[in-house]
Amino acid sequence: MTQLLVFAGSTRQNSYNRRLAQVAADLARTAGASVTLLELSDLKIPLYNADLEAQGTPADVLRLKQILDDHPAWIICSPEYNGSYTALLKNTLDWASSPVKNDAYWSDGSKPFAGKVVGLLSASPGALGGLGSLNHLSPMLLALQCWVCPQKFALGRAGDAFDETGRLKAESHQASVAAVVDQVLWAGRRLAS
Ligand SMILES: Cc1cc2nc3c(=O)[nH]c(=O)nc-3n(C[C@H](O)[C@H](O)[C@H](O)COP(=O)(O)O)c2cc1C
């Protein structure tokens, strides 16, 4: 059974990307995956500062690294801010990629990233659905040795896309999310074997 991690790069209460993460998680569970839906606001992670880090890597950063490391496949739902991904996502991934001093296991910053299969989704009220954020996120993940899935989906006009229960109204949108989920699980199984 594939262990899949799903998280959104927004902590906004009514975040479209969190809703999309829930849709992806539900689809993955239906497909037989074991899914962890991570809420980034549950982690106390400060703004990255090397002086702060020199005093000791925060406990929740170590927790984050472990969660990432425990899951061979991830789906990231990325909002778009000014044509790129959010500061929250950058800060989270920067901490996760920073080596931990005097720790043999975490001495390699790419450790929780290398070899992970990553599917990318985005949602935005705009017409392009935050595609620009994925186009920036993808090379960063590749540089950290992730296998980024070619299949991706950017949900445009996200304000009208969900019903009151959080489900996607359009079959075509649901199918596009399912295509990403299926490819992540497919590639995750193959890389693990
Ligand atoms: C600083 C800022 C910049 C933004 N830039 C973009 C943008 O470049 N493209 C876009 O589609 N939406 C942009 N938006 C709108 C976001 O897509 C919108 O706030 C969205 O709801 C954020 O995702 P969330 O619902 O998951 O929190 C921006 C929002 C903020 C606050």
Q: Given a cut of 80, is residue 67 above it in pLDDT? A: yes
Q: Given a cut of 90, is residue 193 above it in pLDDT? A: no
When divided into structural domains, the chain yields a total of: 1
Q: Are 133 and 84 in contact (CB under 8 A)?
A: yes
Average pLDDT over the chain, rounded to whole?
A: 97
Tokens 């705009």 correspond to 126
Cα–Cα distance, 52 to 45 (Å, whole number): 11
Q: What is the mean pLDDT of residues 37-59?
A: 98
Tokens 């799903």 correspond to 6
Residues with CB under 6 A from ligand 1: 10, 12, 15-17, 79-83, 124-126, 130
Closest Cα to atom 18, ligand 1: which residue?
Answer: 124
Cα–Cα distance, 40 to 32 (Å, whole number): 24
Q: What is the mean pLDDT of residues 24-44?
A: 98
Q: Given a cut of 90, is residue 151 above it in pLDDT? A: yes
Q: Is 95 helix (H, G, I), strand (E, B) or coil?
A: helix
189 C-alpha to center of ligand 1: Å? 33
Q: Given a cut of 90, is residue 95 above it in pLDDT? A: yes
Residue 128: CATH number of its domain: 3.40.50.360
Q: What is the mean pLDDT of residues 110-127?
A: 97
Q: Given a cut of 90, is residue 145 above it in pLDDT? A: yes
Domain hosting 124: range is: 3-192
Token pair recorded at residue 6: 């799903």
